Structures are given as structure tokens and as C-alpha cells.
């Protein structure tokens, strides 16, 4: 695992960060329509070619711009019963949807649909791991007795987070408590 000590001029970390942050800021502030590659290059103070050298499409760039920020945010709770950890994460996710992160997530998803017909690329790069990890926490909650529902963890995840996302997408007020009670079961 030694570094091959690459020849030539190394890739500029500053430019990379500036590009990803500019893309994120444009999506958060002006929306997807204003987040053209040209606009990102201007805002980042970078040549357009530098972007095209490292990202094949706008879809790839915007996904990376989202990940650059989202990686640090929304940590998965590590302590407490399964139900507690899900409840805490749902509260954090629900708050995040109402912030820049929620706007940017929708913009990224829209770009994926426009280019590919679905947001499968976004799922593979980001959601799949989180969904698997949260399904694992749900399974632990079923094992420790804090989650009464006997449904498949992935189905519980889809009902809960799909319901939250649905309301966000269509501009409805979030209702995390109702969805939590329904999908975790017990208080029928």
C-alpha cells in the first residue's frame, strides 16, 4: 500500500474542494437550473475543463457535491435501544430535510432522473449503505424488543423513510411521530 509517487503535477485539492462547494452552494441557493457546469466553474474560480477532466457528467458532479457535505452530517446513532436509535435518526433526518441538505438532495435526485430516468445512481452511491445500516438497527430493535413490529426491516425502512421523503418531495409538513408509530408498530 505504498504511494506510487505519481509523476507530473498533482491534482489540486483546493480546486476539487472549491468545485464541490460551489456546486453545493449553487444547488442550495439558486436551485438545479442555476447549477450548470459553466456556473459552477465560474463560482469556483476554475476552468471548465478542470471539471470535465474529473467528472464525466453533471450528474456525477452533483452527487459528489452532495456526498462531500452529507458524509459528515447525519451520523447513525450508536447508543440506546434499536427503537431509540431509529427515533433519534428520524428526528435528525427530518430536520435535515428542512435545511440546505434537503434542497440539495432533491436537486441531485432531479438531475439523476433527467439524465438516467431514475435516481438509481444516487441510491448506489449514498442511500444503499445507509438503508442497509438502518435496516440493521431496526433488526436489532426487533431483537431487543423495543420494536414490536415483526415486518421485514427493509419494509419498515421503506415505509418510514419513504413516507418522510414523500412528504418532503411534495411540500407537505413532516409528520415523523405518526410515521414512527405506524411503522415501528406496537401502539396499534
Partner DNA sequence: CAATAACTGGACGATACGTCCAATATTTCG
Partner DNA sequence: CGAAATATTGGACGTATCGTCCAGTTATTG
Of residues 6, 172, 173, 187, which one binds DNA by CB under 7 A?
A: 6
Q: Which stretch binds DNA (CB under 7 A): 12-20, 95-103, 118-126, 136-144?
A: 12-20
Q: Is 183 in the site for its own copies (CB under 8 A)?
A: yes
- The crossing angle, in degrees rounded to 10, of helices 13-30 and 58-70 is 90
Per-residue contact flags (x/-) with DNA for residues 19 to 58, judged by CB under 7 A? ---------------x-xxxx-----xxxxxx-xxx--xx
Query: Nearer Cβ to its own copies, position 46 or 157?
Result: 157
**179 contacts 141 by C-beta, under 8 angstroms:** no
Shortest approach of DNA to residue 67 CB, angstroms?
A: 19
Q: Contact at 8 Å (CB) between 83 and 147?
A: yes
List residues near its own copies by CB under 8 A: 31-33, 103, 106-107, 109-111, 113-115, 117-120, 122-123, 127, 148-152, 154-156, 158-172, 175, 178-179, 181-183, 185, 188
Amino acid at each position: 500500500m505504498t504511494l506510487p509517487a505519481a509523476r507530473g503535477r498533482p491534482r489540486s485539492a483546493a480546486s476539487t474542494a472549491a468545485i464541490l462547494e460551489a456546486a453545493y452552494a449553487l444547488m442550495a441557493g439558486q436551485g438545479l437550473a442555476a447549477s450548470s457546469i459553466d456556473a459552477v466553474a465560474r463560482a469556483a474560480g476554475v476552468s471548465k475543463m478542470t471539471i470535465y477532466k474529473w467528472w464525466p457528467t453533471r450528474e456525477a458532479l452533483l452527487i459528489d457535491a452532495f456526498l462531500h457535505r452529507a458524509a459528515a452530517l447525519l451520523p447513525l446513532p450508536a447508543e440506546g435501544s434499536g427503537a431509540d436509535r431509529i427515533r433519534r435518526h428520524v428526528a435528525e433526518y427530518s430536520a435535515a430535510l428542512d435545511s440546505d441538505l434537503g434542497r440539495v438532495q432533491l436537486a441531485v435526485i432531479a438531475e439523476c432522473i433527467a439524465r438516467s430516468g431514475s435516481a438509481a445512481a444516487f441510491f448506489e452511491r449514498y442511500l444503499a449503505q445507509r438503508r442497509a445500516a438502518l435496516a440493521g438497527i431496526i433488526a436489532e430493535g426487533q431483537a431487543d424488543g423495543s420494536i414490536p413490529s415483526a415486518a421485514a426491516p427493509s419494509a419498515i425502512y421503506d415505509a418510514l423513510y419513504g413516507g418522510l421523503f414523500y412528504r418532503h418531495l411534495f411540500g407537505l409538513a413532516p409528520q415523523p411521530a405518526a410515521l414512527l408509530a405506524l411503522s415501528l408498530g406496537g401502539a396499534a
